[in-house]
Amino acid sequence: MIILVRHGEATHHTEHFTGGWTDSNLTDKGRRQIEAAAEKLAKDFSSKMPCFRILCSDLKRAHESAVIFAEKLGIEKVEDFAFLREKNNGKAAGLKESEARSIYCPPPTLKELDHRNYPGGETRREFFRRTVDGMHKVADWDKENLIIISHKGTIQNIIFDWLGMDIEDVNRLNFSVDILPSSLSVLGINKWKEHAIFRLNDLSHLQAQEGFGIHKFKLSAIDALCQK
């Protein structure tokens, strides 16, 4: 099982800085959003907690979110990885959105995979490969239970790869998924041994008090042993 969580609202959202590699913190609202998501997820495992690894981007807003999840779920370790960062926006990182516009390089079309929007930034292709190559290097997707706390574009890349799509397939099909702040998505292998999406962009924790209903999914059983 793979649980994907986007960090909560961050200061770059409210102070109008660029996102990407700008190293912003969670706002008070963002912390409340993540606490609600973590508390709701904990209700799914109130009787028995599976062995989860928590992997997160090393940017502050994602790491802060991961620490909250770890505390709520009783997981001792958070693993930070630079490959789980959002798309690198190069020289625009740390700039106000109004300042970044002066160095923005618009693509010729909306279908470009090898264009750099900002000097020193990544292309869509480079971003995709960095994300999925890093994931396959550090985790066994089909055999481990993972909670991955990261960013919109990074989570999108993970979902695309889970569905067997390369970035060229995504581009050709004009396909995307929306991933909002603090949202939770769940991937897993179903009883037919298919790679499935069980939840996508779920924000019900901001309204409801019950769990996410993870035990109702028709997941293929994965026996993951905790290594203390």
Alpha carbon dihedral 109, 115, 120, 122, in 10-degree steps, equals 110
Is 86 a known active-site residue?
Answer: yes
In three-state secondary structure terms, 185 is strand
Active-site residue (options: 7, 12, 151, 205): 7
Give dist(CA 224, CA 51) in Å, integer.
Answer: 6
3-class DSSP assignment, residue 170: helix
User: Does 130 appear as a known binding residue?
Assistant: no
Give yes or no: 13 in active site. Answer: no
| Bridge partners (DSSP) listed for residue 148 | 4, 55
Question: Cα separation of 173 and 151, whole Å?
Answer: 22
Q: Identify the CA nearest to 64 among candidates 36, 37, 27.
A: 27
- Choice among 9, 35, 86, 122 that is catalytic: 86
Q: Which residues are annotated as a binding site for substrate?
A: 61
Catalytic residue ranges: 7, 86
